[in-house]
Amino acid sequence: MSLKLFNARPDADLIIKDAAKELKAPARRLFGKRILSLGGLAMLSGCSISDDKSVNAMLRKISSFNDEAQAFLFDPNKLAPTYPESMITRPFPFNAFYDIDEVPEVDPSTYKLTVGGRAIGKRVWTLDELHAMPQESQITRHICIEGWSAIGKWGGVRFARFLALAGADTSAKYVAFHCADNYSTSIDMPTALHAQTLLTLTYDGQILPPKYGFPMKLRMPTKLGYKNPKHIVAITVTNEYPGGYWENQGYNWFGGS
Ligand SMILES: Nc1nc2c(c(=O)[nH]1)N[C@H]1C(S)=C(S)[C@@H](COP(=O)(O)O)O[C@H]1N2
Ligand SMILES: [Mo]
């Protein structure tokens, strides 16, 4: 690695911009103040930047460093802001990796939620059983990485309570979700146990409509939109990194908001 090489890259500014996107403030400010150069970045990550493959490897490394930093900075006791009813965004936006006319139809009479992996409690749940549990609601802001945010009201079961009844090993690292539309995502255990993480069954006081994830959406105001799975059919508690639909395509895994 020579400094000449770093400076020779005509796309150095673009690479630094990409890397900056992967980092959250205050690390991002180091770029703004020009304290971190492309060369400095390569040295920090221990990667060479001689070709595009190694640049990608470096960006991936920064992203996983970012996951660890975010996990470290996550305060399990800090609550995300909540809002009054008057601030609810109407109509609330729909988003998925397909158009609204392709929203999956889940049959509530045959639907079952399964829990797998590191859990020794109840493993199969019907919707009636989930509705019979104590319900909470929250009015919070959903932030999508595609550049929009909206305030909505979701109601359901506190996920920490659900995990306790499922006998989940809460010392495990990850909780993974598989959805009826084949979407998937996974979260860290501290976020799974956060007080505002709800297994939601309703939207704005009504049964969750198909477009918002019937029969259930895991709602986390501490995480970006793509980490909030809709149409969940299976939950797995695991120590093996599960990834996810967007995460496998390069979205940051921790995805805090
Ligand atoms: N099953 C499933 N869950 C999903 C998605 C998806 O495509 N399928 N998209 C995610 C993204 S990127 C966003 S922004 C939100 C959108 O939720 P909404 O339609 O309720 O606004 O759902 C998230 N959960
Ligand atoms: Mo999103």
**CA 38 to ligand 1 centroid distance, Å:** 35
CA 194 to chain centre: 13
Is 237 inside a domain boundary? yes
Q: Are residues 46 and 122 in the same domain?
A: no
Cα of 211 from ligand 1 centre, angstroms: 9
Q: Is 19 exposed, middle or buried (0-12, 13-18, 19+ CB in 10 A)?
A: buried
Is this structure's pTM higher than 0.75?
A: yes
pLDDT at 6: 47
d(CA 178, CA 42): 36
- Is 158 close to ligand 1, i.e. is its CB under 6 Å away? no
Starting from the CA of residue 217, give the closest ligand: 1
Domain assignment present for 131: yes
At 58 the pLDDT is: 78
Together in a domain, 103 and 225: yes
Q: If you average pLDDT over residues 209-222, what whole number do you get?
A: 98
Q: What residue's CA is closest to ligand 1, atom 1?
A: 230
Q: How far is the CA of 225 from the centre of ligand 1 (A)?
A: 6
Q: Is residue 82 pLDDT above 90, yes or no?
A: yes
- 4 falls in which pLDDT band (50, 70, 90)? very low
How many domains is the chain built from?
Answer: 2
Closest listed ligand to the CA of 219: 1
pLDDT at 170: 98
For residue 178 and ligand 1, the question of a CB distance below 6 A is answered with no
Residue 65 lies in a domain: yes
Distance CA 154, CA 209 (A): 11
In a domain, 123, yes or no: yes
* Residue 219 covered by a domain: yes
pLDDT above 90 covers a percentage of the chain that reads 70
How far apart are alpha carbons 179 and 218 in whole angstroms?
Answer: 11
- Helix (H), strand (E), coil (C) string for 80-100: CCCCCHHHCCCCCCCCCCCCH
Q: Same structural domain for residues 225 and 110?
A: yes
Structural domain boundaries enclosing 191: 77-249
Which of 36, 51, 73 marks a domain boundary?
73
Residue nearest to atom 10 of ligand 1 (CA): 226
**For 85-96, what is each residue's pLDDT tens digit?**
999 999 999 999
> Tens digit of pLDDT for each residue in 26-40?
566 666 655 567 777
pLDDT at 73: 87
